[in-house]
């Protein structure tokens, strides 16, 4: 009997000394069942397990991933870097699908549809700014649906307070504050990867401030961006090899140039005091118009002389016919031929770049012209006027080069965006020519002589509006929309020669 007891103890001790399995979850060990040892799936289902349940089943290897079950009903952000929470993800989708196209205007822009979206996945300041702009878009959308003064605005806000204009507005300001704070912290801690991040953030901040009506703050942002771009240009001149992101920097440079031109055009009407004044000039000389490779357009391409024709002003003042050379100019003017107007434009994008560059030089000229007024007792020599009317010749050449492309705007295969871009460029060129030829006018009544030109701009604007209304009607009703047979259809037929 004693021998049997000792042999039993030895068996128990031998059994207790066997190596134990140290893998698997504690719950499966307690239940004495084999645990699936797939670590990622264990973490996944453990995080989704009901804490009130003490027993669960381990997912087998053949069971599909539970990520689809855990995904909320809202659209997730495609980012693999910085995470968007539920609310941020919704506004990010609004920016991607609506706000980006609105900011692009009548032109296709990879800056808004690609660059900004990519950077928002890795830079916190850009991410918060993008979300803020998406929230602002929702604010404007809700205000347009139900203005604050309408009787239904209060009832709508009470029924869906989470989808009201004040809710979107407050969240937009909250995200904007986070974006500014994060950018400031990144700069102070030297965490900014490149100047590119600062420039993109500055563009987004400018858009936000313009939306909310803080134009002085927007001008300040443009000033900062122009300063950074100018510093980069100087540094790039000292390098023999350009960096890989130079293309993106050129894109940002074009963006800031356009914003500066818009801001200066706005300032021409409201005249903000210093320091809220944007300056493009960096040298003391007055910018000269760009010389054309093919010379001024022939009389056959321009038709009869109008007030926008430089020859009209030469006939009134023959001294304007020959612009002075740099050696003859008493103002220290230098001639710039760094970007001559080409003989043809292959597409709308190239035409826009040339017109932007020309408008930039005109703005620089106007800046220094104001400085000349302050020291010359409001007396301008003929050489200064000749340089100014030279810009009129360049704009006339641009318009003649752009004419074949504009004539094809109704050709099959032309997209609505491309057609709208052509019309907007033509309107911008005509308006710039008017501003150039009235820059030396002291009488406001001088604008009356351009009434036929203003009528041409008005007709182009109506054409643009008709196209937009037609596109909206077809988007609502489909290709078989019958609304176009009403007044909209008759307007299209009358103005555009289209039978709908």
Among 484, 496, 500, 339, smallest CA distance to 409 is for 496
Neighbours of 349 (CB within 10 A): 13
Spatial CB neighbours of 455, under 8 Å, sequence gap ≥ 6: none
- The answer to whether the beta carbons of residues 347 and 408 sit under 8 Å apart is no
With bands split at pLDDT 50, 70 and 90, how would you rate the model's confidence at 34?
low
**Residue reference for tokens 């220290």:** 332
pLDDT at 420 exceeding the cut of 60: yes
Question: Token pair of 176, please?
Answer: 């904007």
- The answer to whether the beta carbons of residues 117 and 96 sit under 8 Å apart is yes
The DSSP code for 338 is: S
Treating both helix axes as pointing N-terminal to C-terminal, what angle do 246-270 and 215-237 enclose, rounded to 10 degrees? 140
**Spatial distance between the Cα atoms of 397 and 367, rounded to a whole number of angstroms:** 23
Most confident of 101-110, 155-164, 246-255, 389-398: 389-398
pLDDT at 193 exceeding the cut of 90: no
**Spatial distance between the Cα atoms of 160 and 155, rounded to a whole number of angstroms:** 9
Q: Mean pLDDT in the chain? A: 70
**Per-residue pLDDT tens for 284-329?**
444 444 433 444 333 333 344 444 544 444 455 554 444 433 333 3
Of the candidate ranges 306-315, 319-328, 366-375, 392-401, the one whose mean pLDDT is the lowest: 319-328
Q: What is the mean pLDDT of residues 246-252?
A: 64
pLDDT at 333 exceeding the cut of 90: no
Give percent of the chain with pLDDT exceeding 70: 57
**Per-residue pLDDT tens for 251-263?**
788 888 888 888 8
**Spatial distance between the Cα atoms of 71 and 338, rounded to a whole number of angstroms:** 55
Q: What is the mean pLDDT of residues 113-122?
A: 88
pLDDT at 184 exceeding the cut of 80: yes
Neighbours of 87 (CB within 10 A): 14
- pLDDT value at residue 196: 83
pLDDT at 215 exceeding the cut of 90: no
**Spatial distance between the Cα atoms of 390 and 383, rounded to a whole number of angstroms:** 10
- pLDDT value at residue 361: 87
pLDDT at 182 exceeding the cut of 70: yes
User: pTM of this prediction?
Assistant: 0.64
Of the candidate ranges 202-206, 322-326, 401-405, the one whose mean pLDDT is the lowest: 322-326
SS3 category, 353? helix
**Per-residue pLDDT tens for 477-497?**
766 666 555 555 555 555 555
**Spatial distance between the Cα atoms of 254 and 366, rounded to a whole number of angstroms:** 20
Spatial CB neighbours of 307, under 8 Å, sequence gap ≥ 6: 437, 449, 450, 453
For 200-224, give one letter per residue: b (16+ CB within 10 A) or e: bbbbbbbbbbbbbeebeebbbbbbb
pLDDT at 380 exceeding the cut of 60: yes
């Amino acid at each position: 009997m004693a021998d049997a007891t000792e042999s039993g103890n030895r068996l128990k001790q031998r059994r207790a000394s066997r190596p134990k399995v140290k893998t698997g979850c504690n719950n499966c060990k307690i239940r004495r069942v084999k645990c699936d040892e797939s670590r990622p799936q264990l973490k996944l289902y453990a995080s989704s397990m009901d804490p009130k349940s003490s027993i669960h089943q381990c997912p087998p290897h053949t069971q599909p991933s539970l990520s689809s079950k855990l995904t909320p009903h809202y659209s997730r952000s495609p980012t693999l870097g910085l995470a968007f929470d539920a609310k941020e993800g919704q506004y990010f989708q609004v920016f991607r699908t609506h706000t980006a196209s609105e900011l692009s205007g009548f032109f296709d822009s990879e800056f808004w549809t690609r660059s900004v979206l990519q950077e928002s996945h890795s830079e916190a300041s850009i991410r918060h700014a993008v979300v803020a702009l998406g929230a602002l878009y929702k604010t404007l959308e809700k205000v347009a649906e139900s203005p604050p003064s309408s009787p239904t605005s209060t009832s709508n806000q009470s029924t869906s307070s989470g989808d009201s204009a004040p809710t979107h507005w407050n969240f937009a300001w909250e995200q904007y504050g986070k974006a500014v704070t994060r950018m400031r912290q990144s700069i102070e801690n030297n965490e900014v990867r490149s100047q590119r991040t600062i420039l993109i953030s500055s563009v987004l901040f400018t858009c936000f401030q313009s939306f909310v009506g803080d134009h002085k703050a927007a001008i300040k942002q443009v000033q900062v961006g122009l300063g950074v771009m100018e510093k980069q240009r100087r540094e790039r001149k000292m390098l023999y090899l350009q960096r890989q992101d130079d293309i993106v920097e050129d894109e940002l440079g074009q963006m800031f140039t356009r914003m500066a031109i818009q801001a200066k055009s706005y300032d021409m009407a409201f005249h903000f005091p210093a320091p809220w004044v944007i300056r493009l000039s960096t040298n003391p000389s007055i910018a000269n118009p760009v010389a054309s490779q093919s010379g001024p357009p022939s009389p056959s391409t321009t038709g009869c002389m109008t007030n926008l024709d430089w020859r009209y002003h030469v006939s009134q003042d023959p001294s304007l016919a020959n612009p002075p050379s740099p050696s003859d100019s008493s103002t220290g003017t230098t001639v710039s031929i760094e970007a001559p107007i080409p003989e043809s434009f292959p597409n709308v994008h190239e035409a826009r770049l040339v017109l932007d560059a020309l408008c930039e030089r005109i703005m620089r000229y106007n800046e220094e012209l104001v400085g000349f007024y302050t020291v010359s007792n409001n007396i301008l020599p003929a050489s200064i006027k000749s340089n100014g009317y030279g810009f009129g010749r360049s704009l006339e050449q641009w318009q003649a080069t752009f004419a074949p492309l504009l004539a094809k705007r109704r050709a099959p295969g032309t997209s609505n965006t491309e057609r709208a871009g052509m019309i907007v460029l033509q309107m911008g060129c005509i308006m710039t020519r008017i501003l150039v030829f009235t820059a030396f006018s002291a009488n406001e009544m001088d604008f009356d002589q351009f009434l036929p030109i203003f009528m041409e701009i008005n007709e182009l604007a109506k054409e643009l509006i008709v196209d937009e209304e037609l596109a909206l009607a077809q988007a609502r009703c489909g290709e078989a929309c019958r609304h176009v047979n009403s007044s909209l259809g008759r307007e299209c037929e009358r103005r555009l020669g289209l039978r709908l």
